[in-house]
Amino acid sequence: MLMAFSSCFLLVLLQIFSSLLLSHAQDQSGFISLDCGSPKGSTFRERTTNLTYISDANFINTGIGRSIKQAYRTQFQQQAWNLRSFPQGIRNCYTLNLTTGDSTPFISALELRKLMNTTYLTQQGSLQNFIRADVGSTITQGFRYGIDVFDRVWTPFNFGNWSQISTNQTVNVNNDYQPPEIAMVTASIPTDPDEPMNITLVGVERTVRFYVFMHFAEIQELNANETREFNIMYNDKHIYGPFRPLNFTTSSVYTPTEVVADANGQYTFSLQRTGNSTLPPLLNAMEVYMVNLLSLQETERKEVDAMLNIKSSYGVTKIDWEGDPCVPRDYRWSGVNCSGIDNEIPKIISLNLSASGLTGEILEFISDLTNLEVLDLSNNSLTGSVPEFLANMETLKVINLSGNELNGSIPATLLDKGRRGSISLSIKGNTGLCSSNSCATTKKKKKTVIAPVAASLVSVFLIAAGIVTFLILKRKKRTKLGFNPNTGTTPLHSNSHHGYESPVIAKNRKLTYIDVVKITNNFERVLGRGGFGVVYYGVLDNEPVAVKILTESTALGYKQFKAEVELLLRVHHKDLTCLVGYCEEGEKMSLIYEFMANGDLREHLTGKRGPSVLTWEGRLRIAAESAQGLEYLHNGCKPQIVHRDIKTTNILLNEKFQAKLADFGLSRSFPLGTETHVSTVVAGTPGYLDPEYYRTNWLTEKSDVFSFGVVLLELVTNRPVIDQKRERPHIGEWVGLMLSRGDITSIVDPKLQGDFDPNTIWKVVETAMTCLNPSSARRPTMTQVVMDLKECLNMEMARNMGSRMTDSTNDSSIEISMNFTTELNPGAR
């Protein structure tokens, strides 16, 4: 099993629990418990759960092991004392061999558990825990392994309209699900025995589907004239019953198909007593799982093995060459391109290892890539001959072997394919390589020219020296005129604007002005206006797009146009807006982006997008995603990129409210080398502008950190960045003043109505104020900011999780609109 930590998630437990119950040891066969970041070879038994943990060092080749401070260790179990951070790259993978069975992220522990293959079955996708409730619990803490044989984590749940009952007798839990006995010896019943037990799932998106598992056991001694019998209903439809719980024996009732909402957006289960029942219904435990559709299939094992063999034999050290080469699609291995769409097995169709420092011969493992169309091994130090198997790979269309040290004859079959045009073969720069007919002649000629060459070496050297001097002078002159010494070419575009070269862009992304007119339906719908120009709504290939038109052709405008195009063509990240295409016809210039249906962050904070309010969890998610995009620019791009215009209007939201950074017209790349800053004309937006950059003209990535700190304060306060009516006009100074008075509640956006964890508010404000430090050296990196925000987001999500399963009589229940399409036929176990 190959596990990639990126945008893909598998069924693993990535949780830290600081308060668990003590228990006796149980069988751990089939368990994999890794203490991430601990020294190689280390092992320990965690004292509260008796789980044995080993180092993760043998399961991953990337990342850096770290330890938390000694002072904090008493708050956590031992597996949380170390961690593995991933400051480099956007894809870091664990490779795990499992038994076939019946935005810098970090991880402290990785835990996989083996379940019975008769349980938790789905028709599609995987299951993600939504709630696992010990109903009627008499304890206040959650529990897991030692009490639960499968190490499921249970949370106590009691509702205001229910009463709790319990027993001191033993309850048999030996069915396939084996719920813990501590959960089954307690239960809840309705306080009013004539009322049903209603359970409504709330706080979920429209498209969510569930599987539900209920565990029952009769835990009261019933008299001969007493009966407990009830039906299980879902959204007023009968799905199971009449059902009578077994005396002190567990029965599990589950939904074999997905649960969806009805036409009114309800997810409501109801246990209703029958006319024959003298006692109300009861419920001991309940599990609810969301369906997580993982539509991408794994790459074929043969191709994965081939790539791993190529990596090992050539000693390839690319940081993202871990896990599955093609999956997730947005994080495939660099230099690798794959075919296939959702629900299809991906196939490797292109392998580019140009300039990768390869030595030795061309490996036969390449022939195992049976769907390969393009192979680029150029500009390495490969030796030996061109192998025959390349000619026998039927799908190959392009082979680039130029710039190596190959020798001998090229296979006749390969030469023939090249002559017929069925394959494109590049071999220039391999001085020892020749066609089969000319090899003998070439060798003979070499022998005859050795003596004359040796005799004239001195004169040749003198002539060469003169030529080199001439070429150096010529290169300097041609470079000034736009000549590229690396490619030996001058710019192809002659229609430069105001002295700036046209950017080099993939041809398939270039559109004509007529195309732009058609896409926008003759510029029918305006989405917004900015300093660059007007943004219009458009449709390209049946997909909505945003078309930004340069309305004023100036040197500054074209420079920003050029900078934005060139940057977006070389950076790709899920938290950055995606460039779909561009148009450049004389003075008519435009950029075509993916359409962000929910506008910018500022519109939502100010209420311009309607009366709905961004929740604190939603704001934290937007902050974390934006921070990940900015962290990628700073650390994931070579050379490093500074955005220079981070603000709430440049954080856009798509239809799922995923945040993406936009507007890269002011962005700057740092030159390669040891420079820590660039000296440049100050640019940015007042209020967000780094005062140190403004004062010194020295631009660093910490200038973006300052701007992002301002954004964080806007998310907390929903106040203007500059307000001359305030005692301190700038938002950072005003918040600092309020904090000095110990008054944090007065700065929080009143629209949140107190629905937040104060600890996360403090943490975000603390992070923001650190970002606003006048000295750039004392500001955190974006990697640190991402870590802080993810910690806050996890805390807020955990707080909200407790309110996601409620009695449907509670007025705070949230209705979700979805069409009811599935009939349910639960079975009992």
DSSP 504-548: ---GGGEE-HHHHHHHTTTT--EEEE-SSEEEEEEEETTEEEEEE
Mean pLDDT of 691-699: 84
Rounded percentage of the chain residues whose pLDDT exceeds 90: 38
Domain 606-780 maps to which CATH number in 3.10.450.350, 3.40.50.12370, 1.10.10.10, 1.10.510.10? 1.10.510.10
Q: What pLDDT is stored for residue 264 in this prediction?
A: 76
pLDDT confidence of 534, banded at 50, 70, 90? confident
Helix (H) or strand (E) holding 788: helix 782-801
Mean pLDDT of 507-523: 83
Model pLDDT for residues 437-446, shown as the tens digit of each residue:
445 444 444 4
Higher pLDDT, 744 or 402: 402
Domain 301-443 maps to which CATH number in 1.20.120.790, 3.40.50.300, 3.40.50.12780, 3.80.10.10? 3.80.10.10
Helix (H) or strand (E) holding 620: helix 616-631
Higher pLDDT, 605 or 108: 605
| Sign of the CA dihedral running 597, 601, 603, 605 | positive
Where does residue 614 rank: exposed (0-12), middle (13-18), buried (19+ CB within 10 A)?
Answer: buried
- Domain residue ranges of the chain, discontinuous segments joined by +: 2-112, 126-292, 301-443, 467-493, 507-594, 606-780
186 and 164 in contact (C-beta within 8 Å)?
yes
DSSP 475: H
The answer to whether residue 645 is catalytic is: yes
**Residue in the block written with tokens 């270039």:** 510
Q: What pLDDT is stored for residue 198 in this prediction?
A: 92
| CA angle at 50 for the pair 46 and 53, rounded to the nearest 5° | 50
Q: What pLDDT is stored for residue 505 in this prediction?
A: 39
Contacts with 789 (C-beta within 8 Å, 6 or more apart), sequence order: 620, 623, 624, 627, 764, 767
Model pLDDT for residues 387-399, shown as the tens digit of each residue:
999 999 999 999 9
Instruction: Give the phi and the psi of residue 736 in degrees, each rounded to 5.
Output: -60, -40
Higher pLDDT, 251 or 482: 251
pLDDT confidence of 809, banded at 50, 70, 90? very low
How would you classify the pairing of strands 827-828 and 251-254? antiparallel
What CATH number labels 126-292? 2.60.120
pLDDT confidence of 616, banded at 50, 70, 90? very high
Is it the case that residue 785 has pLDDT exceeding 80?
yes
Q: State if pTM tops 0.75.
A: no
Is it the case that residue 593 has pLDDT exceeding 60?
yes
pLDDT confidence of 720, banded at 50, 70, 90? very high
**Residue in the block written with tokens 């229910």:** 162
Is it the case that residue 770 has pLDDT exceeding 90?
yes
> What is the CATH topology of the domain spanning 507-594?
Phosphorylase Kinase; domain 1 (3.30.200)
Q: What pLDDT is stored for residue 439 in this prediction?
A: 56
Residue 548 assigned to a binding site? yes
Q: What pLDDT is stored for residue 113 in this prediction?
A: 83
pLDDT confidence of 93, banded at 50, 70, 90? confident
Q: What pLDDT is stored for residue 532 in this prediction?
A: 64
Q: What pLDDT is stored for residue 474 in this prediction?
A: 44
Mean pLDDT of 172-183: 94
Best-predicted range by mean pLDDT among 277-286, 525-534, 683-692? 277-286
Is it the case that residue 298 has pLDDT exceeding 70?
yes
Q: Choose among 30, 33, 29: nearest CA to 13.
A: 33
Structure tokens at 63: 């990342």
Is it the case that residue 566 has pLDDT exceeding 80?
no
DSSP 195: S
Is it the case that residue 496 has pLDDT exceeding 50?
no
Q: Choose among 614, 631, 623, 775: nearest CA to 709.
A: 623
Q: What pLDDT is stored for residue 529 in this prediction?
A: 75
Is it the case that residue 652 has pLDDT exceeding 90?
yes
Chain length of the chain = 829
Where does residue 687 rank: exposed (0-12), middle (13-18), buried (19+ CB within 10 A)?
Answer: middle
pLDDT confidence of 293, banded at 50, 70, 90? confident
Q: What pLDDT is stored for residue 502 in this prediction?
A: 35
Mean pLDDT of 571-598: 85
Is it the case that residue 635 has pLDDT exceeding 90?
no
Mean pLDDT of the chain: 79
Listed in order, strand segments (DSSP E) in 516-627 are 526-529, 533-540, 543-550, 579-585, 588-594
Mean pLDDT of 516-543: 85
Q: What pLDDT is stored for residue 141 in this prediction?
A: 81
Torsion angle in degrees (nearest 10) through CA of 387, 388, 394, 396:
30
pLDDT confidence of 812, banded at 50, 70, 90? very low
Of the candidates 56, 134, 645, 663, the residue annotated as catalytic is: 645
Model pLDDT for residues 129-145, shown as the tens digit of each residue:
999 999 999 887 888 88
pLDDT confidence of 106, banded at 50, 70, 90? low
Q: What pLDDT is stored for residue 510 in this prediction?
A: 82
* Interior/surface letters 475-493, b for 16+ CB within 10 angstroms, e for the rest: eeeeeeeebeeeeeeeeee
**Residue in the block written with tokens 């340069």:** 550
DSSP 208: -
As a whole number of angstroms, the distance between CA 211 and CA 256 comes to 7
User: CA dist 736 to 616, 686, 695, 761, Å?
Assistant: 21, 19, 22, 14
As a whole number of angstroms, the distance between CA 438 and CA 428 comes to 16
Higher pLDDT, 418 or 88: 418
Q: What pLDDT is stored for residue 435 in this prediction?
A: 65
Is it the case that residue 554 has pLDDT exceeding 80?
no
Rounded percentage of the chain residues whose pLDDT exceeds 70: 78
